[in-house]
Amino acid sequence: MIRSSARRTMRVALSQVRALAARVAAVALPNRCALCGNLSHTMICVACDAAYWNEARLRCGVCAIPLGIGQPRSHRSRGARAGSADAYRCDACRAAPPPFDSTLALADYRAPLDGLARGLKFHRQLALGAEFAARLARLIDDTPGASGFDLVAPVPLSHRRLVARGYNQAWAIARPLARRLGVRADAALLARVADTAPQSRLDRHARRDNVIAAFAVAGGVAGRHVALVDDVMTSGATLAAAAHALKAAGAARVTNLVALRTARD
C-alpha cells in the first residue's frame, strides 16, 4: 500500500514537472507564426495580429453578417444597448428572424485567415482551436451583454464524418472556450441524427433544406442560455437548424460563437 501510494505521488510529481517544462519551453522557445511562418512566441505573431485581426467591423448582432457598402442595411434594435451583440440587425434578420438570438464572429472568412480554419478542420492543427477560443473569450468580454451562458456546445458532426476525421473541430474550440468562460461544456448536448451532405457543396437554399431536421437535443436545456460554437459560419443554415432544435427543447436563448464569418450569405 505504501509503495503504491509512493508511486502515485511520483507520477503526480512527474506530471507537474512535465507541465512546468512545457510552459517554460513555450515561453523560451519561439514557434512559427501560423499565418506568415516567421518566428514568434505566440501562435499569431504581433505583425499578423495587427494586420488581420483588429479590423473595425460593424456586424448584424443576430447573424454577424458584415454591414457596410454593398451589404444589407443596418437598423438599431429597439431597446438594445449601444455596443451590445443585439445593437444592430440587417434587413434579412428583421424580416425573418432566425431561431438563434445573436452571433459573435472574430473576423471575415478570407485569406489568410481562412487557412487557419482549414488547418484546424482538415489538418489536425488542434492548437488553432485554443487560439480561436482565446480570441472569442476576449471578444465576449469586450461586447456588452454577450455573456451569461449556461452551457457551451459544439455543432456536432455526423458519426460517419467524426470517425473519418477523428475529431470535431468545433469541439476543439468549444472546450477551451468554456474553460476560459467558466461555463460547462457539453460535447453531447446536440446529436446529428441525419448524415447530411457537406454544406460547402450546396447553394444557400439547398443548405437550409439539407440540415433542417439534422439535429436532436440530448440534454436538458429548458430555460437555459446555450452558446453554440462552430469554426465557420456561411449561410447560417446549420446553426439555425441546431438553434431550432434547442429552442424546441426549451432553450431560452441561443448565441452563436464562431471563429470566421463569410462576408455574404
CATH (domain of 118): 3.40.50.2020
Among 140-149, 194-203, 208-217, name the most confident range.
Answer: 140-149
Give the mean pLDDT of the chain. 84
Contacts of 25-29 spanning 24+ positions with Cβ under 8 A: none
CA 143 to chain centre: 16
Is residue 29 situated within a structural domain? no
CB atoms within 10 A of CB 174: 28
Return the C-alpha cell found at 117.
480554419
- pLDDT band at residue 254 using 50, 70 and 90 as cut-offs: very high
Contact predicate 111/263, CB 8 Å: no
Please tell me the least confidently modeled range out of 62-71, 155-164, 182-191. 62-71
CA distances (Å), 198 to each of 78, 122, 195, 206, 232, in order? 37, 13, 9, 11, 13
Is residue 172 situated within a structural domain? yes
Angle of the 169-181 helix axis to the 113-122 helix axis, nearest 10: 110
Please tell me the least confidently modeled range out of 8-12, 34-38, 201-205, 254-258. 201-205
The residue range of the domain holding 136 is: 54-261
| Domain count for the chain | 1
Predicted local confidence at residue 169, as pLDDT: 98
Is residue 167 situated within a structural domain? yes
Predicted local confidence at residue 16, as pLDDT: 75
Contacts of 179-182 spanning 24+ positions with Cβ under 8 A: 180/133, 180/134, 180/137, 181/137, 181/140, 181/147, 181/149, 181/152, 181/227
Is residue 177 situated within a structural domain? yes
Is residue 7 situated within a structural domain? no
Predicted local confidence at residue 198, as pLDDT: 56
CB atoms within 10 A of CB 173: 29
Contact predicate 102/256, CB 8 Å: yes
Bridge partners of residue 39, in order along the sequence: 32
Q: What is the mean pLDDT of residues 133-149?
A: 94
Is residue 24 situated within a structural domain? no
Residue 70 predicted with pLDDT over 50: no
Summarised one tens digit per residue, pLDDT across range 167-179 is 999 999 999 999 9
- pLDDT band at residue 14 using 50, 70 and 90 as cut-offs: confident
Is residue 14 situated within a structural domain? no
pTM over 0.85: no
Q: Write out the H or E segment, with its range, that includes residue 162.
A: helix 159-165
Please tell me the least confidently modeled range out of 18-32, 67-81, 101-115, 233-247. 67-81
Predicted local confidence at residue 72, as pLDDT: 46
Is residue 37 situated within a structural domain? no
Predicted local confidence at residue 168, as pLDDT: 97
Residue 15 predicted with pLDDT over 80: no
Rounded distance between C-alpha atoms, residue 130 and residue 172, angstroms: 7
> DSSP 3-state helix, strand, coil percentages of the chain (rounded to 5)?
40, 20, 40
Q: Which of 15, 14, 42 is nearest to 26 (CA)?
A: 42
Q: Quick check: bond before 112 cis, omega within 30? A: yes
- Residue, of 93 and 200, whose pLDDT is higher: 93
- pLDDT band at residue 147 using 50, 70 and 90 as cut-offs: confident
Rounded distance between C-alpha atoms, residue 254 and residue 239, angstroms: 10
Contact predicate 223/250, CB 8 Å: yes
CA 175 to chain centre: 10
